[in-house]
Amino acid sequence: MHVLDRIERKVLLNAPRKQVWEALTDADQFGSWFGVALKGKTFTVGENIEAQITYPGYEHVVWKAKIERILPQTLFSFWWHPFAVERGVDYEKEAPTLVEFTLEDRAPGILLRVVESGFDAIPGDRRQKAFKMNSRGWDEQMGNIESYLNQPRRA
């Protein structure tokens, strides 16, 4: 496997497994910390989902994913086109990458790991930039979910 084929990030979250799981798989909650307008939508295995990105500077982009697997409180994965942000470009012709979130018990909380793989299949002229931007993006998203889970919960 090529060194630029996968990105792996992890964060230790001080939250119950159920709460971490819901932040990942409840589309509304996922959208809150990930920066996508998913209110009223649901993640269903085998189905495509689209929504407007709400992240500043990328509001012109529609987030598109195909839900791959949902193993309750263990694994959530989807396919998408990494850093598919340029106007007028049809990314559907490219192979997508696979994003997998896994949860592990790790005292005193839950270890959340994200692995995005498949960059080797991205066209060469785009591969390095997509890898670099998503590497930074996952750093930020791990901080985002941690901040989201640390917010006071509404009863």
Cα distance between residue 122 and residue 73, in whole Å:
30
Find out whether 79 and 52 touch, Cβ atoms under 8 Å: no
- pLDDT 10s digit of each residue in the chain, 155 long? 455 799 999 999 999 999 999 999 999 999 999 999 999 999 999 999 999 999 888 999 999 999 999 999 999 999 999 999 998 889 999 999 999 999 999 988 999 999 999 999 999 889 999 999 999 999 999 999 999 999 876 54
Domains in the chain: boundaries: 3-150
Cβ neighbours around 39 below 10 Å, total = 10
CATH superfamily to which 3-150 belongs: START domain (3.30.530.20)
Q: State pTM to two decimals.
A: 0.94
Q: Tell me if residue 89 falls in helix, strand or coil.
A: coil
Cα distance between residue 118 and residue 131, in whole Å:
10
Residue from 147, 148, 144 nearest 136 by CA: 144
Alpha-carbon torsion 64, 66, 71, 75, what sign? negative
